[in-house]
Each structure stands twice: as structure tokens, then as C-alpha cells.
Structure 1
Amino acid sequence: MKACQQLAITQFGQPSVLAIQSSDVPVASDSQVLVKVAYAGVNPIDAKTRAGLGWAAQQNQDNLPWVPGYDIAGEVVEVGVGVKALKVGDAVSGFVGFPLLGGGYSEYVAVEADVLSRVSKAVSLVEAAALPLAGQTAWQALDKGLVSADEEVLILAGAGGVGHIAIQLAVARGAKVTASCSAANMTFVSSLGATAVDYHQAPLFKQIKPVDVLIDLMGGDTGIAALDCVKTGGRVVTIPTITADAVCEQARQRGLLADGMLVSPSVEQNNAMMGMLESGDLQLSIAAQYPLSEGASAHQDIETGHTRGKVVLVVDGDI
């Protein structure tokens, strides 16, 4: 078997610090499978870690070069002796190596078999790679916010990777969803079932009536400003960890129930959303696909904060 090509963070800094390296193809342990990766999802946490920000960066500062990436989809090419649920040739996807191991930006990954979802022929591998981290973040944010039918929910950055999934999951729960976006994304966000609001037009609290729940996917000053949109006693879930404490403190001063959130991998949730993809009840927007060797461009893209849907790396698109 040939050597394994990976895209690694060589030092913390700008996207240019990402470089291709070669390693031995990993060997699956008794409880693992070896996956030949077709696509790897690119997420904001990858870019923040590469820049040296956040917990994963702190924990891996002495482990550079380090291969990022938590979303993969591909084909099983080797099965550990203790694995019964998967076989060679199965198409799989999963949320892997979170938060310290990473490794998704790689041609081959050895993964615990029980964290992987099967991918049906009705779902493309590029969609399967784009789903896990963003989808589970959206699902768990709605759970933490106790979002239920007929509640008014505001989702910031509704056109983004997490946002466009969160809109659809909230609508599926029967919630009444409003989502912020740019003018260019108004039609897209509306097509997902939300009332789209252009954040450039005026402060959000001047454009919408008070909501029961805020799902803050922006954090910082934007997240804090959106607190004015929430009813007294309402709930706030803020996702960006770097500003979570500041947003939550401001929320509590306004009489709101607020909490930050770190996503936790759940194969059950991934399986459920894979089923929604297969049935057409969930749509994934792929903003761009970049070859593994152009990972720096993918990071530049995602750092603009204006991508519509998910960015993915093409590791072996012929699978």
C-alpha cells in the first residue's frame, strides 16, 4: 500500500502554514476499520486551531506537525478482527478524533468502527463528509436550547455550515425560525423554511419581534447585540467557545438563561441525519470543494465568514 498523504499544520499561523506531508498508512486495531478517505469536511474550528486559538491548539502545541480534520467520508478498506458491523467496501462517514486527535485531512484514517455511520447509495460521499460536526452542533444546540414546537427561534448566520442545518432541524421540530444573513443569502435562507433577515439593514432587534430562543453561531459583539432580540427569561445557546463567557455574562445581566456548548460526537445523531438526507428531509449546501493540496485556500474561504453551507476537501473523489 502506498504512503499516506496528509495535510498538516506545521506551525501556528496563517493558512500558508498548512503543508502536505507523507506518513505510513495506519493499521486498524481489533476494534477499528481503516478508511480510504474520499472527502474531509472543513470547519471553523480547524482554522482556529491552525491559527493557534482554542483548546485543541493549546493541547497540541508540542505535537506539531499536527493533522486537523474531524469530518470524513470514504470507503472501508481494512477491518479489525473484532469488528462485525462493517466490512471492506462499505461507504462510511463520521465525526472522528475530536477534539485532540484530528486526522481527517488524510488519505487513510484508522477509526473506531462504532463511531461511523453507513452511507447509503442515495447520499453522496461529499454530503456525508460535510454533515457530521456541523450537523451534530446544530442538533445539540437546539437540544440545549430546549427548542420545541411553536417557539420563536433566532439563528445567527443562517446561511453558514451549522446555520443552514440548524434552520432545517428547528423547522422539523415545528419551531418558527428567523435567521440572520446577508442580502445575497436571503432567498437561500428563506428556502430552508426560515424568515430571513438582512443584518446589514438595521440592528436585528429593530427588525424582528422578541424570540424565545437565540442560537448564537457568531459570538462576540454580534452575539451580544442579538441578546436584545430575546424575551426576558428566554434561552441563549452560544457556540463560539472563545467568546462564550462574555456572551453568557451579558445574557444573564438581561435576565436570560444562557450557556455555551462544545459539541460531543454522537453516531446516533449522525445516523438520524443521514436518514433525513436519504429521505430528502434535510438538504446540505456545499459551498466549495478544494483538493487536499489546496487546503490553505479552503481555510482562507472559511475564514471569510461568508460561505454558504459547507467547505470540503477532496481527498480521493474517485471513490
Structure 2
Amino acid sequence: MPQNLQLAITAFGGPETLKLQHTDIPEPQDGQVLIKVAFAGVNPVDAKTRAGLGWGAEKIKDILPWVPGFDVAGVVVQDSTRFKAGDRVAGRIVEGGGYGQYLCASADVLSRIPDGVSFEAAASLPVAGLTAWQALELAELKAGEKVLILAGAGGVGHFAIQLAKAQGASVYASCSAANIDFVNGLGATALDYAVSPLEAQVNDVDVLIDLVGGDVGEAALKSVAKNGRVVTVPTITADRIIAAAKPLGIDVKGMLVVPKPEQMDTLLTLVQEGKVRVEIAKTYPLEDGVQAHVDIQTGRTRGKLLLEMPE
């Protein structure tokens, strides 16, 4: 019987709590598709969950070991009602499980990967691409408005810049000195957060997309116009940002990304047409997943980190 090699969170704590395990290949239930995973995305939420923080950790605390991974791209193993064996698919998997060779996923969260789009690019989109799309949608960004995106060089940030630009917005994005050229190249005005406070570099923005939260997210409120709109993505500090914005007359919404295959289809098409660029910082073999977690925790990675499954 072939086995399913996975990387699991065995206890809450540091990256070293991730351990390889062998399990049986899962059997798809009604409405599910068995996928042989090619690549899985590594996201900040994976590291937070592993550390025991946030809603994700709360959900899994009694069922460890648990396999993370909400972004996957791979091949359908057997025919189902919606997909045929051999179809290339990608999607946002709410239950996790992406850090493994095989996975069962609900057919209605999956998108076909178009010709000419790599598994790597497709695996980069479900969490980061959909988060960027849904954050801009929640902010009701309109053409001609000024938007500030925090952490513009990161996974979500680099997609948010491109999508906001495509909507006709005037885009500003914070980043480190090392990423100035990269962020400018995506169509934003790059702001080096180490040079001076953001409010000294840009103000009266209509929309703030806060991808950092905490002290940084709160300080960025000073750049927002009165009656401006803010979407804060890190759930752990959302209440704090909402509270800090109230006396300033600024509306803040927190959000949680949800699977939307029709949005995912559009993102895949934009990548296929060369209208959205996917930046992949590094790809690690599954057995080096601990290092991927060490790296994502720095908050300094450019674009996306991926895990490649062994054959």
C-alpha cells in the first residue's frame, strides 16, 4: 500500500514541532476529490497556528498531530463528478492538509489550472491572491483613490499592489530598503518604512490595507484620511486596530479569506495572460518545512514560500 508522507504540527511551539509522518492515502467522500499534491503554499497563518496562536490553533488544539497547508496545487487522482483523473487543480483548502503528498478536498473549492500556468504559480494564489482580492473588495476601492498597502513585498502585498493598480488606484506600499525596486516594479510608490514614519511619507489615503497589524498597523492609521476605510488582515490584532481607529473617525473591518473558485479562476487567467506576476521567494522540499517556517516568521520574505512534495 503506498503511504502518504506529511509534515504535521505535533505540539504547539517552535518550528521544530513540525515532524514528518506516514499515513494511509485518504479516501474521498461524497463531493470530494483526491489530489496528488505537487506544491503547497507556506503562509504566516501556518506559523501562527503552529505557535498556538489565533483561531486556527483554537480549532485544532484537541486533534494534534495536525497537517497544515491551506494552499495546494496538484493533480486529480481519480475521476469524480466535476473532475477527471489527470486534471491539474488548485484551491484554498479550509481544513488544511496541504503539507502532504495526498489530500481530499471538496470539489467546489477547486479551480482548473489553465495551460501555461505552473503548479508553483497556482499554489501561490489561493490564500495570498484571494486575501488581496477580498481585502480590496471589502474596502470598496475605487479607481482614482489613494491606497496604502503595508508589507507590499510579501505574499499578499505583491498581489494587492497589482490588483489595486489594475483597478485604477494610486498605490503606495511599505517595504524594506531591499525591496524598493521590486515594489516600484509592480506599479506602486515604494515607501521604505525604516527611513521615516509612514505618515511623514504619505497621508490622506482613502484606503489602508493593513497586512501587518499590531504597532505597525496602528501607526499606519495616521496616514488615513478622515472617513477613510481600513481593512486589517491579521486576525490576532484586529480588535486593537478597530479600537484605535474609532476616535479618528476611521472605519476598520477585519476579514478572513474564504474560498471563492470564481475569483481563483480569474486570478489564474490573469497569471496566464501575464497581467499578474507571481513572485516565489523560495521552494523547499517537504522535509525542509521546518526551515520554511523559520523563514516565514521573519516577516521579511519577498513574495511566496512553497513546499514541494516528493514524488
TM-score in terms of structure 2 length: 0.98
TM-fit CA distance, 1:289: 0.6
One-letter code of the match for 1:93?
A
For residue 75 of structure 1, give the secondary structure of its aligned residue in structure 2: strand
Moved more, 54-63 or 303-312: 54-63
Alignment of 1:247 with 2:244, yes or no, is no
Alignment match, 1:78: 78
How many angstroms does 1:4 deviate by? 0.4
Per-residue CA deviation, residues 166-222 of structure 1 (Å, 9 max, x unaligned), is: 000000110000000011100000011100010000001101132101000000000
5+ residue gaps, structure 2: none
State the one-letter code of the partner of 1:50: R
CA distance in 1 between counterparts of 2:222 and 2:23 reads: 51
Q: Which runs of 4+ in 1 moved over 2 A?
A: none
Aligned mates of 2:203, 2:241 — CA distance in 1: 21
- C-alpha separation between the residues in 2 aligned to 1:271 and 1:64? 33
Q: Aligned residue for 2:91?
A: 94
1:137-286 matches, within 5 Å, as 137-286=131-280
Distance 1:36 1:57 in 2: 26
- Among 292, 304, 307, the alignment partner of 1:313 is 307
Distance in 1 (alpha carbons) for counterparts of 2:213 and 2:16: 26
What residue identity is the alignment partner of 1:249? A
Task: Give the unaligned 5+ runs of structure 1.
Answer: none
Alpha carbons 1:298, 1:311 under 8 Å: kept: yes
Letter in 2 for 1:226: A
CA distance in 1, matches of 2:210, 2:33: 36
Confirm or deny that 1:103 pairs with 2:110. Answer: no
Please give the alpha-carbon distance, in whole angstroms, between the structure 2 residues aligned to 1:216 and 1:29. 38
Displacement of 1:110 = 1.0
CA distance in 2, matches of 1:120, 1:211: 36
Q: How many residues in Structure 1 have an aligned counterpart in Structure 2? A: 311
Q: Which moved more, 1:43-52 or 1:256-265?
A: 256-265
What CA distance in whole angstroms lies between the structure 2 residues aligned with 1:240 and 1:190?
24
Offset at residue 29 of structure 1 (A): 2.3
Residues 29 and 79 (structure 1 numbering): CA distance in 2 closer, same or farther, change over 3 Å? farther
CA drift of 1:76 comes to: 0.7
The one-letter amino acid of 1:128's match is: A
> How far apart in 2 are the matches of 1:143 and 1:121?
28
Q: Is the 8 A contact 1:10 1:18 kept in 2?
A: yes
Distance (whole Å) between structure 2 residues aligned to residue 175 and residue 195 of structure 1:
12
RMSD over aligned Cα, in angstroms? Answer: 0.9
**In the aligned structure 2, how far is the partner of 1:12 from the partner of 1:192?**
37
CA contact (8 A) 1:34 1:79 kept: no
Percent identity at matched positions?
56
Question: Cα distance, 1:231 vs. partner?
Answer: 0.5
